[in-house]
Chains A and B, each alone.
Chain A
């Protein structure tokens, strides 16, 4: 007996003024299946899912649930039909507790029309149990980690009897172990009969949990691969429409050890754990670790954004006093921060203004900015980084994520840095731009810049780094040489176990 698929989307098209977002796209999912939806930014994944979630109406095409054609009028309608959408930016109310969030809008009431406190907590319990979440239903959401908040959203979806859960980039803010837990959960849920559509940029995760991978490109179906055939290269091929040779570029540069030495830097998170390490000239040192291990905080302390008075920084043998970010920048130590929209860029300003911001003094005379020189510097960076922008006067907020990241890089490259610290350089960036950024990093290293790459993307860590330093709760548990860089080893060090392959982070 063949059962109609849980969901069938056929020939879905959607147009917005000036752009065709979706062009006759098909998507199908059966009960208990996990389908990964991948594609570059702008490929149409979000639009397709927004149609499914009731946020948009398709211009053409039909949607069938259990074989019956339906029209999903609005978000409520989608929920009633059993479709739950867990967005990348969580929609939780962090001043309320778990139970209140799960039953938001459907609070059980007693005879006096007042909220039935006992019932709401009793009803929420089973869902938390099902997810293996060991917290009380009375916990306020702002006391939970992002991963736990996400679980609460999933609990909400389950409480709504969701038969199909759409997860949009669920792991982008999770630690390595939380990611693992989520992927296990995805498989558990699908084992319980729930269909799951999983949108992600992290191809490594996709092949851990998906049964099938659907690829969109430029608003159209670009292909589909069952798990067994979904290799990284084949997926990238479908996503980009061409072969990206050497996605991960191998290193061939000369490396001189001890070029950049960091001694006794203490982060805000772990003020009692001094950290020391060396980076060789021309090397890409990956910094792995669970979120909360203190990597970003160490980076901020190194460049002087956070105070760490006892630290000592040596560049090419010379001691560099760093009390404020300006000191680090003047000596060629630059930080590309984790959050490009809030820390890396001033999005309302133009490409030109952003690129020249740290270098204005050099581009001015008697305190007045020399506009022509400024434009030249910006144009040169846009050119060399191939930033897709209508011009240097375009506001940065109008660029795509990948191009915005290139502007951030351009800002620092304009100063010809000797040390670049990159915090999650390719987060939320599509595949094409990722490859370009890796190539750029390799090129920089080849020119003699020491690069520190903080990343939560295992693939990135394993493939891009020359060596990997792993942090756990504020200390470096060990450094792995390229030959010893395996997922196993990194994970072990990340949870604090010492392994024989780990080398010390520095030599005196």
Chain B
């Protein structure tokens, strides 16, 4: 019995579809039956195991300016073909085309739940934006490298559809998606550490297991000119919540931040507030929650006119083994809320 051929839809832009250059970059999504342009070589390389049943085409400018609409329209055009997989590009170093390839791969993966893959130069902005959502194979900067990447693209597509299991980037050749995955090493960590050190001292080659990420540096906001007219808010990562933790703020790796009204509160009393934080000795915080969230001191400053007004709500989360990505999200969202509410400054306390 012959194996069923894998049905592939191929996405390309107006240029590779031989419709036109920049002057045609605004064309709307359309479909053509069978392979077009670079798809012809891919089709050949599939060697009968897969077939490009249709080619989806869209102008680069139109896609870049209407990402959501273009994706939606393309999905409605692609769906009737009942594809098993989608290949987009390669986009090489073309920025708008790379973004389009990434976006259509993400949309098709999410809506049709079929494997998707694309290829582009590692510095194409499409990589940073979409690598988490699809597989991206690296290419040269220009289309001259198509002959080299085409066989990799076609065999990766077959593997993705046939086995469904894709190994790590080093073995499979795709650009890392950015997920750190737990695996079992052959040797324990201590043995690996000693081995790495010996190599490093001898000036031999070694490979770190955790490359240092680029750290975000947030430049401080300009100073408040007149504190006596400023609205100041209290924000803490120290987990101060009303007694009993009614909204169940997690003791570690917080999934959320909370805000509580303190318009009528002048002092955080033991027994009325407590800490939900699991990363420090709670005895002193529970004894006097003002030690973490300095409400009593802030009210005094307000009374003395040193600050204009204390904001009616305080914000709280737990900074205990909380992923940096979550912390960044909370920070942005709290900042936006405070800005909207006309708050001029924040006292941020950590533990």
Partners in one complex: no
